[in-house]
Amino acid sequence: MSEERTKCVVVLDGDLPVGLIANTAAILGMTLGKRLPEMVGPDVRDRSGWEHLGIVEFPVPVLRGSPEGIRALRERLREPDFQGLTAVDFSDMAQSCKTYGEFIERMGETAEEKLRYLGLALCGARKQVDRLTGSLPLLR
């Protein structure tokens, strides 16, 4: 992925408690990194010789959204113009599961419209990501 042509953002429900915001961001980032490992740079060494694992090679803005706004973004991903984007969502239902097996089972029993999205990570063509998220403020 070219940094100049690629953009990744994380959109979080800004009204969540700080611990849930941090947890949601961590889960979205880990899943995005698994899906797009080429985003992560090589390991580096500091002057003292200590190794530091590679991190993402470009900034990832964290934006403030609302459950309704995140749902609207998720729905727009069905449009042909946005189908090339990589999207990771995290919902209240997923957050409440204690095991991945429970998550699989409950997702299979839950209609999409019943999910309350806590966050959404998007990565892909800069123009597409900007069209979807360019008006959202940074989460502060």
**pLDDT 10s digits, 11-62:** 999 999 999 999 999 999 999 999 999 999 999 999 999 999 999 998 999 9
How many structural domains are present in the chain? Answer: 1
State the pLDDT at residue 130.
Answer: 96
Look at residue 129 and tell me if it is in a domain. yes
**Residue found under tokens 């999205």:** 117
Q: Is residue 139 part of a domain?
A: no
Q: Kindly state whether residue 68 falls inside one of the protein's structural domains.
A: yes
**138 within a domain of the structure (yes/no):** no
Phi, psi of 39 (to 5 degrees): -75, -20
In a domain, 140, yes or no: no
Residue 113 within any structural domain of the chain: yes
* pLDDT above 70 coverage of the chain, percent: 97
Q: Tell me if 1 is assigned to some domain.
A: no
Task: Give me the CATH number covering residue 11.
Answer: 3.40.1490.10
Position 4 confidence tier, pLDDT thresholds 50, 70, 90:
low
Containing structural domain, residue 52:
6-133
d(CA 23, CA 25): 5
SS3 call for 80: helix
pLDDT band at residue 2 using 50, 70 and 90 as cut-offs:
low
